[in-house]
Amino acid sequence: MRPEKGDLTEPRQHQSTDLSEAEAIERAKLGDAEAFQVLYDKHKRRVYSLCLRMTANTAEAEDLAQEAFLQLYRKIATFRGESAFSTWLHRLSVNVVLMHLRKKSLPVVSLEETTQGTEEDSPKKDFGADDLALAGSIDRLQLQRAVDSLPPGYRTIFVLHDIEGYEHNEIAKIAGCSIGNSKSQLHKARMKLRDLLKMNRAEKAGKSRAG
């Protein structure tokens, strides 16, 4: 799984305490309110971002992030340190989101195998003109919007693999699909994103030419 980002740049929420994560976990087991908040501040962005990317809805993402942390705190007494705390929390968060998506009857991962693609998903020979090519870097905001526009099944796979760093064998276990399905859906998600980003650039290019 991809290591956590942002820890070095994020300002510390509690200037008055130097609780390490291990200390915060032990104190949280004893019901220390400050310890809970230390753990929350350290992991909130990761958990919330995951929920937001998977649902593309801020209200749902907040509710799911809240639920993930509550489940964590309820179970924290059982954490023995066999795995990294962040891994444990992250896996819990993913399960919370996936359960939510299942309850909403949204496809977690498309059940279609690679051999049965739709016309829209079929490989295209025409990759577009040069002036629409994605060049240099991709704007983060544009990519966020494009991810939010993905169909739910594609979005889940893309978020879990490319954003959160899960391997296909892990995704297969979490999402209850085959490794092959995970790989094919990921590829389709990336292709779809490429199309969305190109369309976005084309629209902007058209507007700037008209203006």
Dihedral of alpha carbons 70, 72, 75, 77, sign: negative
Nearest to 150 by CA among 97, 202, 110: 110
Residue among 103, 140, 207, 209 that touches other proteins (CB under 8 A): 140
Identity of residue 124: K
Q: How far is the CB of 14 from other proteins (least distance, A)?
A: 11
Instruction: Decide: is 58 part of the binding site for other proteins (CB under 8 A).
Output: yes
Contacts of 154 (CB under 8 A, 6+ apart): 110, 185, 188, 189, 192
Count of residues of this chain found to bind other proteins when the rule CB under 8 A is applied: 57
List the structure tokens of 93.
């968060």
Binding mask 6-35 for other proteins (x = CB under 8 A): x--------------------x--xxxx--
Within 145-164, the residues that bind other proteins by CB under 8 A are 147, 158, 162-164
Stretch that binds other proteins, among 15-23, 92-100, 181-189, 201-209 (CB under 8 A): 181-189
Instruction: Decide: is 79 part of the binding site for other proteins (CB under 8 A).
Output: no
Residue among 23, 44, 106, 149 that touches other proteins (CB under 8 A): 44
Residue among 19, 24, 38, 48 that touches other proteins (CB under 8 A): 48
- Toward other proteins, which CB reaches closer, 144 or 149? 144
Contacts of 6 (CB under 8 A, 6+ apart): 45, 46
Q: How far is the CB of 158 from other proteins (least distance, A)?
A: 7
Binding mask 119-138 for other proteins (x = CB under 8 A): ----xxx-x-----xx--xx
Q: Which residues bind other proteins (CB under 8 A)?
A: 2, 4-6, 27, 30-33, 36-37, 40, 44-46, 48-49, 52-53, 58-59, 61-62, 65-66, 69-70, 73-74, 114, 123-125, 127, 133-134, 137-138, 140, 143-144, 147, 158, 162-165, 183-184, 186-188, 190-191, 193-194, 197
